[in-house]
Amino acid sequence: MAECHPVGFQWAMAAKERGAKIFHVDPRFTRTSALASTYVPIRAGTDIAFLGGVINYILSNELDFREYVLAYTNAATIVSEDFRDTEDLDGLFSGYDPDTGVYDPVTWQYQGHEPQAAARDTVIERETASPLQHESHGPGVSWRVDRDETLRHPRCVYQILKRHFARYTPEVVEQACGIPREKFDEVCRAWTENSGRDRTTALVYSVGWTQHSVGAQYIRTGAIIQLLLGNIGRPGGGVLALRGHASIQGSTDIPTLFNLLPGYLPMPVAQLHPTYSDWVTSICHPKQKGFWHHAPAYCASLLKAYWGEAATPDNDFCYGYMPRLTGDHGIYKQVFDMIDGKIKGYFLMGQNPAVGSMNGRAQRLGMANLDWLVVRDLFEIESATWWKNSVEVETGEIVPTECRTEVFFIPAASHVEKEGTFTQTQRLLQWREKALDPPGDARSDLWFFYHLGRIVRQKLAGSTLPRDRAILDLAWDYPTHGPHDEPSADAVLREINGYDVKTGLTLRTFGQLRDDGSTVGGCWIYCGVYADGVNQAARRRPGGEQNYVAPEWGWAWPDNRRILYNRASADPQGRPWSERKAYVWWDGKKGCWDGYDQPDFEKTKPPSYRPGPDAEGVEAIAGDDPFIMLGDGKGWLYASSGLLDGPMPTHYEPPESLVRNPLYGQQANPVRKVYDRPENITHPSPPEPHVGVYPYVFTIARLTEHHTAGGMSRYVEHLAELQPEMFFEVSPELAAERGLTHLDWGHVVTARGVVEGRVLVTDRLTPLPVADRVVHQIWLPYHWGPNGWSRGDSANDLGGMVLDPNVLIQEGKCGTCDVRPGRRPQGRELVTYLNDYRRRAGILESHHTPIITTDTAAESYRQGRPDK
């Protein structure tokens, strides 16, 4: 956090000054470790084993916040009797299909709910990363469940969880993660002692945590601990995701993702949602609790924002114009589609995949097979120059004179040269003014897209082709100003907020959005940011002039609520859990919820409210159901739906590992997404032979001094000089083992590439004793490329693309490698060198590690299909 979020880390420091303990768990000893109370080194890729150990500690000592757990989580819910755990199947859950490589989740359902899941197609769900939509969309679960309030039923979630994590003992944690017993005990004690009625603990992670083939399950494990200890929806608690850039939260809210639309509405899938009503129904989940019930209003208002007057109830608001997913269109699949010639043109905005994306060689080879490529950036980044100065030019794989891609470089305005909002990790929108005009031809992204659209529409004007209607019918009428006709960002924000079509007045809350076409709303969760015709994101009332929640600084979605699910900060009767942790509460006299924050609950629904038997949607949310976006109103310790790789997190080794999974016969995530291609070879991993060819573990990360792929730092002298050259860090022990010398050259080798840099020998890295061996870890910053002031090899050339099945994110933070002193070979010799390694590892042509490494797959399959 200190390393990549120094500005945010001031608050961690402020908390420490007030007596908070900070634990830092990381394979590397970073600036965060230096300031933490306790540093816990860990073997990369074993976080579920570690956190699973914490869960086991909580459950076996019954240290959970019982009243919270019972009332607010699904701990008491009874699960289907057909469910089989990884305990029973050596690392697989019931329902695994070895042919398709995905689970049928029927047996994971709550008792009596099995038929609901029968209609799902988990193959399509993995291809389209559909669990990502559940970020706020909420998977389908009915709220009528069987419960055992005593938590003694052997199939209640609490007992299943307890059995599942029973084998995650301190000894296993020590063996799997390399974390000494005393350190582990210290973490467990501190976490549990600092949680409860009077105290809360926050879990903070940076998004590198998600970059694993079990990434979504990492977060789940943390969330389970926080739910068990009553740390969700309460001040000082939570699972806080520090995003990798200034507005990454904003770029998922109004997404740059292939499978999402604004406000986490899912992109329609061709096979599943041929009609508007199919699409809308799939979102609003009839018969469930919660606010997704109003999805028709969110969808209609969004389509109205796109197509304005052309969108009417009679033509399903132009739903027919919407593009549909036909499968995996994720960023990595796109790269291979480019290599295969299926994608002809590409826009790159504020992204430098030639350096910043995993498997750099595949990225560059893909771009080298396009017809055209548009790069908009502040500087001439590597993604615009790979055709003349990349490693592939060195090796002869890309020949500048023959490369057919036409590259257009267009200068972009920086964040201080344009106006707009940033949405940060707390979902807080903050408006910023333009400080100065962009230089020369540089323009804002808004300018670029608006005028691109305008010109395309001009060119199509008069066309009678049906295919052009989607463009010609767009509402494309933003006011412009200034010498360059800059579109008004303010007007865009107003449209995102939404307004009444007749009166033109802005809406105050998403409850005012309508499904009949009478409202426009570009992103339903942002509704209210322009309430009363005022840009609420531009509010800057100083913290000293308001309560500590500071509701009048900027604006947070939804409805300016600063902590989500904050109904949980009060007990079931609506009283604060403790005076110290009072946040929102039920005021019986006024008959409404009150507090320091906007209650994340219907303002006047009393704690005693109980829904009738036929209630659905918002009406079905009971007065003590804090998790208002989930189908049963509860926090999920066990996710019967929504994740493709299991209802509970399970430790799997990374696809490339040095050791056998110490917990199960199943080595790695059995549902992981693999692209089996020669550009994307995976190293042998136990139980395969030849693991020793790549005998070390590498992890890739960032430094304070540079920004991601370096586009904003390597080209600026004052930043470039702070970390002037590519380096990587090794422990003194590894330096001795490999003859590496401090500040001399060294290089790191994988089957995908070789990366050289200066060696930094430092005791900030430590060898870890794991099982019967010592694991050496190397860490490399990934900021460099051949352009800019500060140059060097790109560490991401080392990584491969093996993906988490839920959200299609890459295993980017651990792999195996070799490390050698001296510079890497150049030119054709580099290819020979790589091939020599691959020959010795037996992976010359193509290779990925076996998906299933246990013999229980058939049994798992049968369990999922009782009739077979």
Partner 1 sequence: MPENSLYGPLDPAPDAGYVDAPPRMGFFTDTSVCIGCKACEVACKEWNNVPEHGLDLLGMSYDNTGGLTANSWRHVAFIEQPVSRDRLADRGTGVGGQAGNQPPAFAGMPTTTVAAPESAVAAATTGKETGTEPGVVPGPEPAAAAPATTQFLGMPSSVLPGQLPGGERTDFRWLMMSNVCKHCTHAGCLDVCPTGALFRTEFGTVVVQEDICNGCGYCISGCPYGVIDQRKGDGRAWKCTLCYDRLRDDMMPACAKACPTESIQYGPLDELRERAAARLEHLHGIGETSARLYGNDPEDGVGGDGAFFLLLDEPEVYGLPPDPVVPTRDLPEMWRTAGKAALTMAAAVAVAFLGLGRRR
Q: List contacts with partner 1 (CB under 8 A).
A: 2, 6-7, 9-10, 13, 17, 29, 31, 33-39, 41, 180-183, 186, 703-705, 717-725, 727, 731-733, 735-736, 739-744, 758, 760-764, 766-769, 774, 789-790
- The closest alpha carbon to 126, from 100, 106, 95, 108, belongs to 100
Minimum distance, C-beta of residue 584 to partner 1, in the bound complex (Å): 30
Name which of 112 and 543 has its Cβ closer to partner 1: 543
Name which of 88 and 737 has its Cβ closer to partner 1: 737
Environment class of 539 (CB within 10 Å of its CB; exposed 0-12, middle 13-18, buried 19+): middle
Q: What is the dihedral of CA 32, 34, 38, 43, to 10 degrees?
A: 70
Minimum distance, C-beta of residue 43 to partner 1, in the bound complex (Å): 12
Minimum distance, C-beta of residue 178 to partner 1, in the bound complex (Å): 8
- The closest alpha carbon to 647, from 638, 636, 635, belongs to 638
Residue 256 corresponds to which tokens in the numbers above? 């740059």
Taking the C-alpha atoms of residue 145 and residue 162, their distance in angstroms, rounded to an integer, is 20
User: Amino acid identity, residue 867?
Assistant: D
Please, what's the b/e burial string for 25-44 (b: 16 or more CB within 10 A of its CB; e: otherwise)? bbbbbbbbbebbeebbbbbb
* Residues 160, 81, 73: CA angle, nearest 5 degrees: 40
Name which of 285 and 824 has its Cβ closer to partner 1: 824
Minimum distance, C-beta of residue 27 to partner 1, in the bound complex (Å): 13
Minimum distance, C-beta of residue 207 to partner 1, in the bound complex (Å): 19
Environment class of 533 (CB within 10 Å of its CB; exposed 0-12, middle 13-18, buried 19+): exposed
Minimum distance, C-beta of residue 706 to partner 1, in the bound complex (Å): 11
For 139, 297, 356, 566, the CA distances from 618, given in Å and listed in that order, are 16, 14, 43, 17
Residue 724 corresponds to which tokens in the numbers above? 């002037």
Residues 6+ apart with CB under 8 A from 737: 776
Name which of 477 and 763 has its Cβ closer to partner 1: 763
Minimum distance, C-beta of residue 776 to partner 1, in the bound complex (Å): 10
Taking the C-alpha atoms of residue 408 and residue 713, their distance in angstroms, rounded to an integer, is 22
Name which of 29 and 298 has its Cβ closer to partner 1: 29
Minimum distance, C-beta of residue 439 to partner 1, in the bound complex (Å): 17
Minimum distance, C-beta of residue 735 to partner 1, in the bound complex (Å): 5
Taking the C-alpha atoms of residue 689 and residue 646, their distance in angstroms, rounded to an integer, is 29
Name which of 274 and 769 has its Cβ closer to partner 1: 769
Name which of 228 and 761 has its Cβ closer to partner 1: 761
Minimum distance, C-beta of residue 768 to partner 1, in the bound complex (Å): 7
Torsions phi, psi for 566 (to 5 deg): -75, -5
631 and 623 Cβ atoms separated by less than 8 Å: no
Taking the C-alpha atoms of residue 232 and residue 627, their distance in angstroms, rounded to an integer, is 10
Name which of 531 and 726 has its Cβ closer to partner 1: 726
Half-sphere exposure of 501 (CA within 13 A, CB side): 22
For 26, 265, 639, 860, the CA distances from 126, given in Å and listed in that order, are 29, 17, 16, 19
- The closest alpha carbon to 84, from 107, 54, 60, belongs to 107
The DSSP string of 175-230 is HHH---HHHHHHHHHHHHHT-SSS----EEEEGGGG-STTHHHHHHHHHHHHHHTT
Torsions phi, psi for 818 (to 5 deg): -120, 160
- The closest alpha carbon to 833, from 841, 842, 824, belongs to 824
Region of residue 604 (left: phi > 0; alpha: psi -120 to 50; beta: else): alpha
Taking the C-alpha atoms of residue 681 and residue 678, their distance in angstroms, rounded to an integer, is 6
Residue 687: asked if its preceding bond is cis (omega within 30°), the reply is: yes
For tokens 């003992």, name the residue: 169
Name which of 121 and 186 has its Cβ closer to partner 1: 186
Name which of 695 and 724 has its Cβ closer to partner 1: 724
Name which of 353 and 781 has its Cβ closer to partner 1: 781
DSSP 620: G
Minimum distance, C-beta of residue 781 to partner 1, in the bound complex (Å): 11
Strands 727-730 and 754-761: parallel
Minimum distance, C-beta of residue 718 to partner 1, in the bound complex (Å): 5
Minimum distance, C-beta of residue 759 to partner 1, in the bound complex (Å): 9
Minimum distance, C-beta of residue 390 to partner 1, in the bound complex (Å): 22
Minimum distance, C-beta of residue 573 to partner 1, in the bound complex (Å): 38
Residue 683 corresponds to which tokens in the numbers above? 């190293």
* Residues 647, 652, 658: CA angle, nearest 5 degrees: 175
Minimum distance, C-beta of residue 8 to partner 1, in the bound complex (Å): 8
Name which of 551 and 769 has its Cβ closer to partner 1: 769
528 and 497 Cβ atoms separated by less than 8 Å: yes
Name which of 685 and 723 has its Cβ closer to partner 1: 723
Residue 732: asked if its preceding bond is cis (omega within 30°), the reply is: no
3-state secondary structure of 291: helix
Minimum distance, C-beta of residue 743 to partner 1, in the bound complex (Å): 4
Name which of 29 and 72 has its Cβ closer to partner 1: 29
116 and 142 Cβ atoms separated by less than 8 Å: yes
Residue 180: asked if its preceding bond is cis (omega within 30°), the reply is: no
Name which of 18 and 467 has its Cβ closer to partner 1: 18
Name which of 34 and 118 has its Cβ closer to partner 1: 34
Name which of 500 and 737 has its Cβ closer to partner 1: 737
Name which of 599 and 781 has its Cβ closer to partner 1: 781
The DSSP string of 566-612 is GGGGB-TTS-BS-STT--EEEETTTTEEEESS--SS-TT--TT----
Minimum distance, C-beta of residue 16 to partner 1, in the bound complex (Å): 8
**CA Rg value for the chain:** 27
